[in-house]
């Protein structure tokens, strides 16, 4: 499941909305919406994200969060390390090989560390 899919599912659960009801309201199939939630579809389009934001009637911070999560929810990411340092390529390959076995705690720790480093290095 993608971060965006998890948030959409959370919003649906809070409002007691079924997948079928939401799909009908958005004029998409239940299968598409399910695949979007489970990360079996690519990143949703800007237009689809806006439709979902409108559907849930969310504003400001929550709408921005949905947009941000959509941008971070490509389930089939490719990283081109051509032109980067050997350490960058090593890190990328290690992450690709090990990510499936990392615990939620380890993932959270790595995400936190990347955010700290990114803010420090102004990335």
pLDDT tens digit sequence for 102-114: 999 999 999 999 9
Q: Give the whole-angstrom CA distance, residue 8 versus residue 28.
A: 15
Q: How confident is the model at residue 48 (pLDDT cuts 50, 70, 90)?
A: very high
Nearest to 2 by CA among 98, 78, 68: 68
- Percent of the chain scoring above 90 in pLDDT: 80
Q: Calculate mean pLDDT across residues 30-48.
A: 91
What is the residue whose two structure tokens read 């237009």? Answer: 47
For residue 43, the tally of other CB atoms under 10 A from its CB is 19
pLDDT digits (tens, 9 = 90+) for 62-111: 999 999 999 988 888 889 999 999 999 999 999 999 999 999 999 999 99
pTM: 0.73
- CATH code for the domain defined by 3-71: 1.10.260.40
Nearest to 75 by CA among 49, 121, 45, 36: 36
Q: How confident is the model at residue 8 (pLDDT cuts 50, 70, 90)?
A: very high
Q: What is the pLDDT of residue 21?
A: 97
Q: Give the whole-angstrom CA distance, residue 66 versus residue 37.
A: 13
């Amino acid at each position: 499941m993608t971060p965006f899919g998890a948030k959409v599912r959370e919003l649906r659960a809070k409002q007691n909305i079924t997948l079928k009801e939401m799909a009908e309201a958005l004029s998409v199939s239940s299968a598409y919406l399910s695949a979007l939630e489970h990360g079996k579809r690519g990143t949703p389009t800007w237009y689809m994200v806006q439709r979902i934001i409108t559907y849930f009637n969310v504003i400001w911070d929550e709408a921005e969060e949905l947009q941000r999560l959509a941008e971070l929810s490509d389930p089939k990411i490719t990283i081109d390390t051509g032109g980067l340092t050997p350490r960058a390529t090593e890190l990328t390959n290690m992450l690709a090989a090990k990510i499936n076995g990392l615990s939620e705690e380890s993932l959270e720790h790595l995400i936190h560390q990347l955010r700290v480093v990114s803010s420090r290095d102004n990335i």
